[in-house]
Amino acid sequence: AHASQALRYVRSRMAHCTRGPTVEIQSDALIAFDANGEIKEVWRDAKAVDAQMMDVVKAARLDGRYMEGNAGQFLVPGFIDTHIHAPQYSYMGSGLDKPLLQWLDHYTFPAEAAFSDLDIAQEHYQRAVKKGLREGTTTAMYFATIHKEATKVLAHCLLEEGQRGFVGAVSMDVNPGVPHYGQQTEAALNDAEDLIVYLKSKLQQTQKRLMPVLTPRYVPTCSVELLKGLGHLAEKYDVHVQSHISESLDVLEEVDREHGVRDTYLFDDAKLLRPGSIFAHGVHLQEDELCLMAERGSSIAHCPLSNFFFAHGHLDVRRAFEAGVGVGLGSDVAGGYSISMLNAMRSAVLAHKAILIENKTRPDQLPQDNQVTHETGFYMATLGGAAALGLQDKIGSFEVGKRFDAVLVDLETPGNIDPMPTGLGKGRGGDASDAEDFERFINLADGRNIAKVWVDGHLVHAAEGYD
């Protein structure tokens, strides 16, 4: 009984994926989690909880360990952003009319070079992390800059704000377009190793939410020696790897000119295709490359919004799924102009529609399980993203033993989503059903509808009026 009394309880409508991209919705669920944020019990029907347990819940209500959502609210797992450039948040929304390589030279590298100033790093990193939490992102895979000390600043921002995340200093030793923004090979490898040791020993002793990640920028900015050195570090320390792969036609042409082989095989030769490695974009991956990634246990961060601007194509996530490659969603700030994972979900559906249009395929000619819908987008932003990062046993859904990373959604926040007229909905009395409310959330909501956010059971964001 004493252990039960220490638990915290949330009762609400609940939506999550438990296996694949099919959303399970419960109209009245009750979740119990402990002070460390571990989910101890999930009742899919709170009304079926026995009387003795309800006495325990009532006691929790009296001492502030109980929260109940109202009719317009429901609980979803925290969103997982599998690809975001933290320093690029500072100029998000700029320069999207340029080709990728020009955009990098004109905007990205000069902006990132400024992060050698730790005050600038502190200001912009804190803004990015806070904004992500306000939008419901509880876990993020971050690219930082080449600066080791500034990357530590990003790590401490995550710790201070309570977000779960992977943090990596960018490794790059080739950059002829902006020669002042780069590193010597040996220095890049030393910095990467120093950060792994720092994050593992100094920070993970008390905060398991923070993880290091090796971050070769992309092949044109990395020598083969650097890639192989990072592959050695990945094996030595058993850490995650992130980079870009098969992103755009101009990058592929540059890789072919320099190396005479596609970037997938360069990553594989360097032992960077491995379990726990995630590569952004993958738009132009060929079948043999997808099969190789599946064999190695590597995943793709699908960045549909930035792909519209820079990739000269769209990732067909159905091909990736069929090949056995895990796929998460990425905002790809600032190639993507929005940090919102809701926008990423909607963009994923649009990208699928664009592929159908290009192929002159009618949606009604496809079986339902071969469609990319709002449910598929939600899956990639939650459980699918967790699986892509190798964290499916820890986050991504509401199951016993997982962490309570959660977002309380409020469809009735004033000034955004108007209620569906009574009589049009499929729910009781002609009101919107739970499934319709969920779909409207994915398609219409923004940060105004994010009421509360928890990471590891700790409330890390409460919108005004929801304290």
pLDDT(1) > 50: no
Residue 110 lies in a domain: yes
Greatest Cα pair distance, the chain, in angstroms, is: 71
Q: How many domains does the chain have?
A: 2
Q: What CATH number has the domain bearing residue 36?
A: 2.30.40.10
**Higher confidence at residue 4 or residue 459?**
459
- What residues are paired with 41 via a beta bridge? 32
Residue 467 lies in a domain: no
Within 10 A of 427 (CB to CB), how many other CB atoms are there?
15
Residue 125 lies in a domain: yes
- Is the CB of residue 88 less than 8 Å from the CB of residue 111? yes
Pair (296, 163) in one structural domain? yes
pLDDT(451) > 70: yes
Pair (299, 427) in one structural domain? no
Outline where 168-262 has alpha helix (H).
Answer: 185-197, 224-237, 249-259
CA distance linking residue 46 with residue 35, whole number of Å: 21
pLDDT(431) > 80: no
What confidence tier does 253 reach under pLDDT thresholds 50, 70, 90?
Answer: very high
Residue 60 lies in a domain: yes
Give pTM, 2 decimals.
0.96
**Higher confidence at residue 414 or residue 127?**
127
Residue 239 lies in a domain: yes
Pair (345, 451) in one structural domain? no
Instruction: Kindly state the average pLDDT of the residues 241-263.
Output: 95
**Higher confidence at residue 127 or residue 105?**
127
- Is the CB of residue 261 less than 8 Å from the CB of residue 300? no
pLDDT of residue 203: 67
pLDDT in tens, 341-359: 999 999 999 999 999 999 9
pLDDT(205) > 60: no
Which domain does 457 fall in, by range? Answer: 2-77+397-462
Pair (294, 405) in one structural domain? no
pLDDT of residue 2: 43
CA distance linking residue 392 with residue 408, whole number of Å: 21
pLDDT(254) > 90: yes
pLDDT of residue 4: 54
Residue 189 lies in a domain: yes
Instruction: Kindly state the average pLDDT of the residues 189-216.
Output: 88
Q: What CATH number has the domain bearing residue 320?
A: 3.20.20.140
Pair (62, 148) in one structural domain? no
pLDDT(183) > 60: yes
Q: Among 388, 420, 444, where does a domain finish?
A: 388
Which of 402, 413, 352, 409 minimizes the C-alpha distance to 380? 352
Joined together, the tokens standing for residue 255 give 């890789």
Pair (359, 428) in one structural domain? no
Joined together, the tokens standing for residue 422 give 């009574």
Beta strands in 380-441 (DSSP E): 406-410
Q: Among 360, 388, 416, where does a domain finish?
A: 388
Q: What percent of the chain has pLDDT over 90?
A: 81
Residue 175 lies in a domain: yes
Pair (373, 401) in one structural domain? no
Pair (253, 345) in one structural domain? yes
pLDDT(207) > 70: no
Pair (114, 134) in one structural domain? yes
Q: Among 356, 388, 420, where does a domain finish?
A: 388
Pair (57, 93) in one structural domain? no
Pair (353, 403) in one structural domain? no
Residue 441 lies in a domain: yes
Pair (71, 164) in one structural domain? no
